[in-house]
Chains A and B, each alone.
Chain A
Amino acid sequence: GQNIDQPTEMTATEGAIVQINCTYQTSGFNGLFWYQQHAGEAPTFLSYNVLDGLEEKGRFSSFLSRSKGYSYLLLKELQMKDSASYLCAVLDSNYQLIWGAGTKLIIKP
């Protein structure tokens, strides 16, 4: 079957760095997405990785290792507004997105 695993919840301190991991087992792989979802709102796109390595975009970076079926989202200089759920999703061989359950990130002052 297809499976995406992420931690359910993480807590971090304002100004710190946090890494949210995602492991996946899917039928085929055509890329991995990270989305941010604030409570009661729609998901919004953060990043897309299809090749191994690190993609940096401001305070957010995303890493992919296809051989290990592993990705992480790195958030630096955490701000209170970063409190949200972070969703990992894999585009499978049918070009359908398979979604993880999301990681709820709580930022404390």
Chain B
Amino acid sequence: NAGVTQTPKFRILKIGQSMTLQCTQDMNHNYMYWYRQDPGMGLKLIYYSVGAGITDKGEVPNGYNVSRSTTEDFPLRLELAAPSQTSVYFCASSYRESSYEQYFGPGTRLTVT
């Protein structure tokens, strides 16, 4: 059981470039989430999904897009990268939304220069 896996671990992008952050979970969880974590700040929810084919915006969705074609995969797309998107990105999953803990992937450290 690998849990939640994310690729890549690190990436440097130039301003205006695009990329996709991959996230996969093998726990058959319905709910999946993308967060960003800036230094000294709490986690901010970018997008979330309650099941395959269903996605919704979180607190900070601008500049990002997601899709959920399968239960396992929840990729995050950055279009036209900007320095403000320099952050650590965490993908997480949970069985449901209420009392169930979220399991986090190891994170992707992204720098946009």
Contacts and interface: CB of A to CB of B under 8 A. Distances in A.
Interface in B50-78: 58-59
A97 B48 CA distance: 11
Given A30-B98, A48-B99, A96 B90 contact: no
Contacts of A8: 40
Interface residues of B, number: 20
A73 B17 CA distance: 42
Given A87-B42, A97-B45, A43 B104 contact: yes
Contact of B40 (A44, A45, A97, A101): A101
Interface string B95-113: 0011101111111000000
B42 A50 contact: no
Interface string A76-109: 0000000000010101000111111110000000
Contacts of A101: 40-42
A31 B107 contact: no
B106 A4 contact: no
B80 interface: no
Contacts of B58: 96
Given A41-B106, A42-B106, A4 B101 contact: no
Nearest to A33: B101
Contacts of B103: 45
Contact of A42 (B59, B99, B101, B104): B104
B101 A45 contact: yes
A41 B40 CA distance: 15
A77 B64 CA distance: 44
Interface string B70-96: 000000000000000000001000000
Interface of B: 40-45, 48, 58-59, 90, 97-99, 101-107
5 contacts: A42-B104, A42-B105, A89-B42, A97-B102, A101-B41
